[in-house]
Homo-oligomer: A and B are copies of this chain.
Amino acid sequence: MKVGEIVAERIGFIGLGIMGRPMARHLVKAGYELVAHSRSRQHVDALCAESTTVIGADSPRAVAEQAATVITMLPDSPDVQDVVFGENGLAATMQSGGLLVDMSTISPEVAIEVNTTLAAKGVASLDAPVSGGEQGAINAALSIMVGGEAADVERAMPLFQAMGSTIVHVGAAGAGQTVKACNQIMVALHYAAASEALVLGAKAGVDPQKLIQVLSGGLATSRVLEMKGQKMVDRQFAPGFRVDLHRKDLAIALASGKAQGVPLPATALVDQLFQALATAGRGDLDHSALITIYEDLANFQLGRVN
């Protein structure tokens, strides 16, 4: 800590991946002192090297011992379960009055389990998954869907405002994850819709540009078609949002559907097509590459059209 530097509060931050790093940097910029932990020690060291207001920590316990408010940004439900419920995890080490803000995308049911367990120890928690991807994180323009108690959302609001541009309190614990799952269902199905329309239309001889132009103008349009349709035609599949991450999110949605007793037949079908993408070795492409599976099925490629 430099003398005289403004430090509003000390915040724990666990998970310095592609999303976590830029999010943590925005907190540092906003004047927070960070206690940072990540599975990859080099990401912790790199962040510490960037700023004198970042302290490295070796474990979730070490974070909990130095910060009352902890943010987690982890890949999947088991990672959050490990950090919260594992030996020396946050459930065992955070102190009463603390606040856990889990910004990972995980299953709503695990989010509720985390909330209930921590609440029994006097620790508040929010599920606050984001959308907007790496660019949204870099630009502090994430959309944040928050589930939990209103008073806790209020408490975390300055943190959210440092990282995101749209922050919506969508309901009780788990609601943030539920809305995120619904979001990912819709995006995946909209890719399937655009893919079936573009491949059928193009193989039947219609210029894909005309298809996009006409379909964008009416009830058939989607943000996916408007933002990604041309890229799908031009085969620009650099991520963006990776197929493997969307597969993870569809698995969460389907598990939540099972837990809630809500059959999701179209999501289940499109999940299988995303599985085909991964099997074909395209798990690292942007999720808009779903169209390539349809091209394979139709033995036809849209190609680059000018």
Residues of chain A whose beta carbon lies under 8 Å from any beta carbon of chain B: 108, 131-132, 143, 145, 166, 168, 170-172, 174-175, 178-179, 181-187, 189-190, 192-194, 196-201, 203-207, 210-211, 213-215, 217-225, 227, 253, 256-257, 260-267, 269-270, 273, 294, 297-300
Contact = CB atoms under 8 A, between A and B. Distances in A.
Contact of A300 (B198, B200, B262, B298): B262
A204 B222 contact: no
Given A179-B215, A186-B222, A205 B143 contact: no
Nearest to A261: B298
27 contacts: A131-B218, A131-B219, A168-B214, A170-B206, A170-B207, A170-B211, A170-B214, A174-B204, A174-B205, A175-B204, A178-B200, A178-B204, A178-B205, A182-B197, A183-B214, A183-B215, A185-B193, A185-B196, A186-B196, A186-B220, A189-B189, A190-B222, A221-B222, A260-B298, A262-B297, A265-B269, A266-B266
Contact of A269 (B132, B145, B175, B266): B266
Nearest to A131: B218
Given A192-B266, A200-B256, 16 more contacts: A166-B217, A168-B213, A171-B206, A171-B207, A175-B206, A178-B205, A181-B201, A182-B201, A183-B214, A185-B200, A186-B197, A186-B215, A190-B190, A219-B224, A261-B300, A266-B270
A206 B179 contact: yes
Given A204-B108, A204-B178, A215-B179, A220 B262 contact: no
Contacts of A211: 170, 179, 182
